[in-house]
Structure 1
């Protein structure tokens, strides 16, 4: 099943229905109608959820950037009710896609009282939406930090001193980890059907002169009993590392202990890990692809995606984390 964010992108090319909603049905059926991804007439993302005959109407307009509204649709002599979960702020599109994924997973398990299910899930996400215009980490930032902390934890278990020497991510260096053996850039994705990662700039996948560059990727999925940023921070602190050094570094990436409860409910399991050598065969945009090196200065913003799934990896799954951490722990 595709991620909701990908389906919303495809909907831009479809025609709207009689409610001025461009929609694509999921395989979840409630009382003869399907739950559907949709775009409204203003291009805002939405999820259409049929309500059952005995369900009460659901309304919620108090959450930052997201609303729940019940509508009646007349078909012949019968009026059907639907609940529309709508994203009102395009800056929250990425987070809204993950919220919709959460709703769909729960509706796949049970179609009883779908309106109440949507309301409960929105309440769980409400605090995050309310703080995204402040200092809190976005969902995308949390996902990236989880993958980075997985590697940090693995190194710390091998050498608690080496981990601080090689962790460069908080300082906004070109690569997240650098040692005498290698440099490693960490990426995370929640896409289900492809191992696709985003690359920012022409230098991010350009190897240092002295050591090889590797790309460490984690494919994550929102699920109960997985790792959150909060649980990882607590677990790493339990390893006996120097806490002030660790927390100062985390503050540089936007994590503050007072926000721990905010992130605790957003837990992810790792579906797949991969470690790839970024060499001449690896698809990337670097200075060498330009006829003149100074041309890169005229392109201040370069962003692209790479599907690393088909690329031959140096290590896969659990061994990817082991190999990466062992290379970085060498001094």
Structure 2
């Protein structure tokens, strides 16, 4: 049983997310230690729901949907409900909004449809669209990082891999451990050519090993992969660890991801041409560590071509990650 509505309750529901598309995971809402007939719920896609039992639909026009908020009259196995729902990116607004609804319906004993309509009017400005479009280059780069997270890092390290994902923090490298850093570059070119935008980006930190992952994509309207498929794959891998899943979704939100991207028309689709892992060593093409630009030059960009460079096999790359993280634990 729960008392009130807090982020912990949504985290609990994420750990219970159903496998079926039409199913809902639910937990009851309690107020001052007493049970109510209201429930919090979550669907397969991670959308947040507040379910309020009703005897009938709205007497007049139903309350209007707002950006990210849907109001529906639904028939469930348990009976008819007034269902409010929002995508996970709106949790910080949806949670206090639901608290006001619960107070109006339970504490003030107001008629649910009227209470919801009045609360929506009071909260209308908070639901105005403010999300900027997700830039194509951001989607491309983030796709590569999530591909590495789900196919290499989580399978080796488990949910703790999310802690090492530093791409959202604008660090020098995209994954940072005590003994191993990983830089991920993703390109839509037909060759494994990548732009290096920082003088220190291919410098190996003292006491660390640096791996470079090259991801090649083909952008196509018929592509079978997208940023959404990568997010879904990571969410499935983290389903049993609510804390790691919450931390992952927080990082995604900070990068501009929201569930609206799925249907906004801005979501790019790809075919994955290939992904290779390289050790950044003396054979790797890069500027020397002691290189200094001439006075007055404040930044340098250059392109590396990895076409003729031997890459690590999956087992070898996995071994490097395991070995470095055993050192971290010891």
TM-score by length of 1: 0.51
CA contact (8 A) 1:275 1:320 kept: no
Change (3 A) 1:328 1:172: farther
- Aligned pair partner of 2:219 in 218, 222, 241: 222
- Aligned pair partner of 1:150 in 136, 147, 168: 147
2:302 matched to 1:304? yes
* Counterpart residue number, 1:272: 274
Change (3 A) 1:217 1:184: same
**Offset, 1:203:** 1.0
CA contact (8 A) 2:150 2:234 kept: yes
* Counterpart residue number, 1:236: 234
* Counterpart residue number, 1:14: none
Unaligned runs of 5+ in 2: 1-130
Structure 2: distance between partners of 1:296 and 1:254: 37
* Counterpart residue number, 2:102: none
CA contact (8 A) 1:151 1:325 kept: no
**Offset, 1:163:** 0.7
SS at match of 1:284: coil
* Counterpart residue number, 1:37: none
What is the correspondence of 1:109-128 to structure 2 with a 5 Å cutoff? Answer: none
Instruction: State the aligned residue count.
Output: 191
Structure 2: distance between partners of 1:136 and 1:283: 35
* Counterpart residue number, 1:197: 194
**Offset, 1:189:** 1.1
Structure 2: distance between partners of 1:268 and 1:324: 29
TM-score by length of 2: 0.52
What is the correspondence of 1:1-331 to structure 2 with a 5 Å cutoff? Answer: 135-154=132-151, 155-192=153-190, 194-223=191-220, 224-239=222-237, 240=239, 241=241, 242-262=244-264, 265-290=267-292, 295=293, 298-315=296-313, 322=318, 326=322, 330=326, 331=329
Structure 2: distance between partners of 1:321 and 1:226: 26
Unaligned runs of 5+ in 1: 1-133
Structure 2: distance between partners of 1:275 and 1:297: 35
